[in-house]
């Protein structure tokens, strides 16, 4: 069964065609989850760079920087990136929504596995 056969099967069962109507009430949770997954995967790298740059600083400075970056920085990034991602994904045709959402999560999972994040 080739890719075209799988796609035709999905369309014939209306799985992909109606997939946009299924998650509409949870749409922003999908975007937040995508951004949060990216932060989880890249968070250790960000903290490693921050630790390297602050290694000679006082404990309080390192602690405040950690809190600022992890609590406020990551939070601000989620608040900014989720609406941006929403605008980008809403521009897609409705029948591609489900496919793109699943593909992004699978890609992040594969990337995390290959980089020993999980």
Does the pLDDT at position 24 exceed 70?
Answer: no
User: Of 13, 34, 12, nearest to 23 (Cα)?
Assistant: 34
Residue 100's domain spans which residues? Answer: 3-114
Query: Which two tokens mark 31?
Result: 């975007």
**Cα–Cα separations (whole angstroms), residue 35 to 51, 84, 85:** 23, 10, 8
Does the pLDDT at position 77 exceed 70?
Answer: yes
Report how many domains make up the chain: 1
- Of the chain, the end-to-end C-alpha distance in Å amounts to 31
pLDDT classification of 25: cutoffs 50, 70, 90 = low
Which pLDDT does position 30 carry in this prediction? 83
Q: What is the value of pTM for the model shown? A: 0.65
Concatenated DSSP letters for 85-115? Answer: HHHHHHTS-GGGHHHHHHHHHHHHHHHHHHT
Q: Are 89 and 97 in contact (CB under 8 A)?
A: yes
User: Of 12, 19, 46, nearest to 117 (Cα)?
Assistant: 46
CB burial of residue 42 (10 Å; 0-12, 13-18, 19+): middle
């Amino acid at each position: 069964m080739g890719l075209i056969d799988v796609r035709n099967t999905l369309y014939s069962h209306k799985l992909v065609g109606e997939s946009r109507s299924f998650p509409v009430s949870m749409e922003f949770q999908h975007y937040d989850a995508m951004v949060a997954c990216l932060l989880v995967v890249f968070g250790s790298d960000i903290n490693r760079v921050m630790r390297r740059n602050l290694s000679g600083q006082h404990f309080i400075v390192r602690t405040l920087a950690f809190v600022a970056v992890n609590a406020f920085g990551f939070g601000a990034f989620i608040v900014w990136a989720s609406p941006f991602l929403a605008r980008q994904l809403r521009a897609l045709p409705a029948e591609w929504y489900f496919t793109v959402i699943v593909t992004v999560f699978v890609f992040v999972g594969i990337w995390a596995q290959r980089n020993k994040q999980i």
